[in-house]
Amino acid sequence: MFNSHTTTHSFHIPVMGLGFTADTPIKVAKYGISSVVSIMDDHMLEDLRRIYSRKLQIPYLPISDKTDDSRANRIKAYLNLIHDAVSKQIEELKSQSFDYGVAINEYFTLLPENHGLKVLYERMKQEVGEAKEAIQNRLKAAISPGKIDVNIMTKVDKINFDKEGNELPREYSDALSALRGFAESDLESSVVFSAGMNPALYGYAEQFEDFFPDENGKIKKGIILKVSDYRSALIQGRFLAKKGLWVSEFRIESGLNCGGHAFATDGLLIGPILEEFKNNKEELRQVLFDTCQKALTDKATHLLPEAIMPKITYQGGIGTAAEDKFLMNYYQLDGTGWGSPFLLVPEATSVDKDTLDRLIQSRKSDYYLSHASPLGVPFNNLRNSSGEEQRLSRIEKNRPGSPCYKKFLSFSTEFSAKPICTASREYQNLKLKQFATGDTTLPVLEEVLEKDCLCEGLSASVILNQGEEPKRNLRAVTICPGPNLAYFKGVFSLKEMLDHIYGKANIILDPERPQVFVKELQLYVQHLQHEISKSLPEKTQKFESYVDKFKANLSQGIAYYQELIASFPIDTEEVVEKMRNQLSELKEKISSMELVKA
């Protein structure tokens, strides 16, 4: 099947926070490794453009807040800088000899052993004379950069105002401005839409010809949807297809066994979800293809190639080569995402030394699902981060909340017509005054005070990692690793991590680490227990139905896994036996869960 966005490696590095992967392409794209840059914080990207312009010795003209369409222009300028930097790195690689110790060799040594280019590279080393030179030329011609994809979290779409306080047109909202910056950039890559459907944002993509096929059927800028289940993929995919917009990839992410914001399903587990995608892959493709072709025909524009196929990939909690290989082969995936483990790879991500030390020193109990996000969505957090220390220190000093400068998450109109952020000092002070009145209908105070400034906390690390101070000296770092990172300890080189992913060598993991399916199941059982234990005045019929459905989905998922491990060798016998016992224990735990009647 044809796909206009092919990749060298079988894995990608997903977006992490606002800054942890903001400059990852400059670090790893030259090796053919694809990664995702968040384009939500234009202030941070402008700082990085200034820093890298100096490093790369290229002119830097600042784009100030007073510049027309400053947000989109900052994003465009930074993406163009990355694109140019990586293009030059690739040119440099192709100009090198294959002498021992020269960087070009690393491009091929990082590949899996069975990769066609790795096999050809090994053969080249055995040849001499013209035959050797001919293979070297073939290898150089095959060198291509990893994709520089971008992420837009669809819910982060604040409406903006001009200096006089007048509401700006819709296309100047945060998400639409970010999309415009990407669409007008020089990149040939994809935008990852995450956190659900945003009709205005999806519709706005129609304004840019790069999202449509050209006369050769090539789509310069692809659309990737991050989804949690098949139904969501079909609904969002059809919405876009009706506009003639093709989804080049469905990136399935575990609802709970992931980093950042956690969008839990109603107990639907990743194994059955992947099985549904596998069984319906052709149907999904046909529905979207027919819908998209009709829309393109109606627009009287170029059509999609007949053989085009969307990629199906998975990310969330993968920790071993055996898990990666099973997921790829059994579910016929086009790739996998390895996120949180790369936070321990300085060659790939930007984690400042203090935060890196805290990650290494952290215990499993330090990884938890918090109420920190002003979006009101559960957020993976680290208890011993400097961001958490700062939040608690402010509460202790009777000054809870954060100064709010960037305002990306200002959505609450509880106290004012103009939205403010629930993590802001302004909001939390107003909320404390409300609590002082003794209003018993208010949410738990701890949940209000747990809100943290993600705008500053998730972007500080990349600036600190460059040896600079974040603006206003806001050095505290919030980090949002997935639960899987608790089982990795140490700092690793890029080669060590890739060798681990491809099974060439093994990073020693905590022996208590559960298999990826079991870990997600454990997280869902904990989640349901927490939901049941919430203090409610009364257990409504709707809530009881929700719990029953949740339990039924978990039980069906366990039955699916039990049948799977009985019929397919998904890992070593030791791992499978451990899974068998854990599945039985979790099945009993679920069946014993009871709602306490009010």
DSSP assignments along 26-66, one per residue: HHHGGGT-EEEEE-S-HHHHHHHHHHHHHHHT-------TT
Place of tokens 């059994």: 330
Mean pLDDT, the chain, rounded, equals: 95
Contact 349, 16 (CB under 8 A): yes
pLDDT value for 534: 79
| pLDDT given at position 4 | 40
Is residue 597 over pLDDT 80? no
What distances in angstroms separate CA 266 from CA 103, 251, 554, one per listed residue? 48, 19, 9
Q: Which helix (H) or strand (E) holds 276?
A: helix 270-298
Alpha carbon separation from 148 to 38, 40, 114, 312 (Å, rounded): 11, 15, 25, 18
Q: Convert the pLDDT of each residue in 85-137 to its tens digit.
A: 999 999 999 999 999 999 999 999 999 999 999 999 999 999 999 999 999 99
Read off the tokens for 48.
Answer: 């990085």
In tens, the pLDDT along 209-231 reads: 999 999 999 999 999 999 999 99
Whether the Cβ atoms of residue 51 and residue 29 lie closer than 8 Å to each other = no
Per-residue pLDDT, 445: 87
Please write the tens of the pLDDT for every residue from 432-460: 999 888 876 677 889 999 999 999 999 99
Predicted local distance difference test score (pLDDT) of residue 6: 56
Residue 88 amino acid letter: K
Is the pLDDT at 595 greater than 80? The verdict is no
**469 with 358: CB under 8 angstroms?**
no
- Rounded CA separation 211/133 (Å): 40
Mean pLDDT of 526-552: 86
Cα gap 545→267, rounded to integer Å: 13
Mean of pLDDT values over 367-386 = 97
Question: What is the model's pLDDT at position 12?
Answer: 98
Question: What's the pLDDT at 256?
Answer: 98
- pLDDT tens digits, one per residue of 196-212: 999 999 999 999 999 99
Check pLDDT > 60 for residue 19.
yes
At 5 the pLDDT is 45
What average pLDDT score do residues 285-289 get? 98
CB 595 within 8 A of CB 544: yes
> What pairs with residue 34 in β-bridges?
12
- Name, in order, each residue with C-beta under 8 angstroms of 339's C-beta and a sequence gap of 6 or more: 13, 14, 16, 258, 259, 315, 316, 482
pLDDT at 3 over 60: no
Long-range contacts of 131-137 (CB under 8 A, 24+ apart): 136/98
- Report pTM: 0.97
Mean of the pLDDT values across residues 534-545?
Answer: 77
pLDDT tens digits along 345-364:
999 999 999 999 999 999 99
Task: Specify the range with the lowest mean pLDDT, choosing from 238-247, 429-438, 487-496.
Answer: 429-438
